[in-house]
């Protein structure tokens, strides 16, 4: 059931509007718009090197933004450009979002769940379609609602056993107000991580089936895995649990072993572990 969080929407609007008011309008951003009489022709560009592969010298991200509210879209553009990132397209509907992702192959896309024409889940469905056309393209979905089925749909685009799942994220809009944390979450998604709002994680856990595939995990290992689901690094988990980094690394290794995850790069195994946790 949809549960509106009005504080989230108001905070999101106020925060982004303040960027426009304080700094003035941003420079024009390309918008993929179908010409009259037919769909836009899109020429895919080569997929850029992943953010983590470009190193610290070039840490900027190429971003596509999809939000039908012009002021909010402008606010996100300004926020990102002021922090050194390049917005390659800013669009207002699901169709042009898909076209922009296919054309620009961004490091990450920020997508509002509610888009025209019905303002229900068009943004999410466009994000899922974009992941189908451009596998592993990183997507961060913003929503003013806690809707577990949306998170389930997004998680379903990660194919266990594939060569990396690509970054995915689902956050409530009020998280944008904490700018540093929001930008950190965006970067984690861009580098292949999974970032889920704590409220979403909580509701997903309520829906876990009685036949728990994670029953072999200890309470501490479950706690570690819960924090992994929020996209936290081992260091951040250690800080939250007031334990050493080494202790967290041991718990993570035990989790991988008990879930019988195949040897692979650690980031991919973390994604698979989180998926098993949330779907279990």
Q: Is pLDDT larger for residue 145 or for residue 193?
A: 193
184-198: b or e for each residue (b if 16 or more CB lie within 10 Å)? ebbbbbbbbbbbbbe
Sign of CA dihedral 30, 61, 240, 170: positive
92, part of any domain: yes
Looking at the structure, do residues 242 and 160 belong to the same domain, yes or no? no
Residues 219 and 196 in one domain: no
In a domain, 113, yes or no: yes
CATH number at residue 212: 1.10.10.10
Shared-domain flag, residues 175 and 229: no
Per-residue pLDDT band at 14 (split at 50, 70, 90): low
Q: Are residues 26 and 152 in the same domain?
A: yes
pLDDT digits (tens, 9 = 90+) for 42-82: 334 444 444 544 443 358 999 999 999 998 899 999 999 99
Find the domain containing 249 and state its range: 208-279
- Does any domain span residue 177? yes
The residue out of 202, 222, 246 marking a domain boundary is 202
End-of-domain residue from the set 202, 230, 263: 202
> How far is CA 68 from each of CA 59, 163, 189, 273, rounded to the nearest angstrom?
28, 33, 22, 34
**What's the helix, strand, coil split of the chain in %, to 5?**
50, 10, 40
Per-residue pLDDT tens over the stretch 164-203: 467 999 999 888 889 999 999 999 999 988 888 888 777 7
Identify whether residues 78 and 175 lie together within a single domain.
yes
Can you give the pTM of this predicted structure?
0.62
Residue 229 shares a structural domain with residue 152 = no
pLDDT for residue 32 = 47
Are 140 and 238 members of one domain?
no
In this prediction, residues 120-144 reach a mean pLDDT of 92
Q: So what's the pLDDT on residue 161?
A: 46
Instruction: Check whether residue 113 and residue 194 sit in a common domain.
Output: yes
CB 144 within 8 A of CB 67: no
Q: Tens digit of pLDDT for each residue in 91-125?
A: 999 999 999 999 999 999 999 998 998 888 899 99
């Amino acid at each position: 059931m949809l549960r509106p969080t009005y504080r989230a929407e108001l905070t999101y609007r106020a925060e982004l509007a303040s960027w426009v008011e304080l700094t003035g309008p941003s420079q024009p951003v390309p918008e993929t718009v179908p010409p009259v009489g037919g769909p836009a022709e899109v020429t895919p560009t080569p997929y850029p090197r992943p953010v983590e592969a470009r190193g610290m010298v070039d840490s900027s991200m190429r971003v596509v933004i999809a939000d039908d509210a012009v002021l909010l879209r402008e606010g996100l553009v300004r926020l990102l450009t002021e922090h050194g990132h390049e917005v390659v397209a800013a669009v207002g509907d699901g169709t042009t979002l898909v076209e922009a992702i296919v054309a620009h192959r961004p490091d990450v896309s920020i997508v509002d769940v509610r888009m025209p024409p019905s303002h229900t889940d068009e943004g999410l469905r466009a994000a899922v379609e974009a992941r189908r056309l451009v596998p592993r393209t990183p997507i961060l979905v913003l929503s003013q609602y806690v809707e577990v089925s949306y998170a389930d749909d997004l998680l379903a685009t990660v194919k266990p056993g594939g060569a990396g799942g690509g970054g995915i994220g689902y956050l409530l809009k009020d998280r944008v107000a904490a700018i540093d944390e929001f930008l950190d979450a965006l970067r984690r998604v861009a580098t292949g991580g999974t970032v889920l709002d704590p409220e979403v994680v909580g509701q997903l856990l309520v829906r876990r089936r009685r036949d728990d595939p994670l029953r072999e995990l200890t309470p501490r290992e479950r706690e570690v895995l819960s924090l992994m689901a929020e996209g936290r690094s081992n260091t951040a988990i250690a800080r939250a649990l007031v334990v050493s980094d080494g202790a967290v690394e041991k718990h993570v290794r035990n989790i991988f072993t008990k879930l019988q995850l195949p040897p692979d790069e650690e980031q991919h195994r973390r994604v698979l572990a989180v998926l098993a946790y949330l779907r279990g």
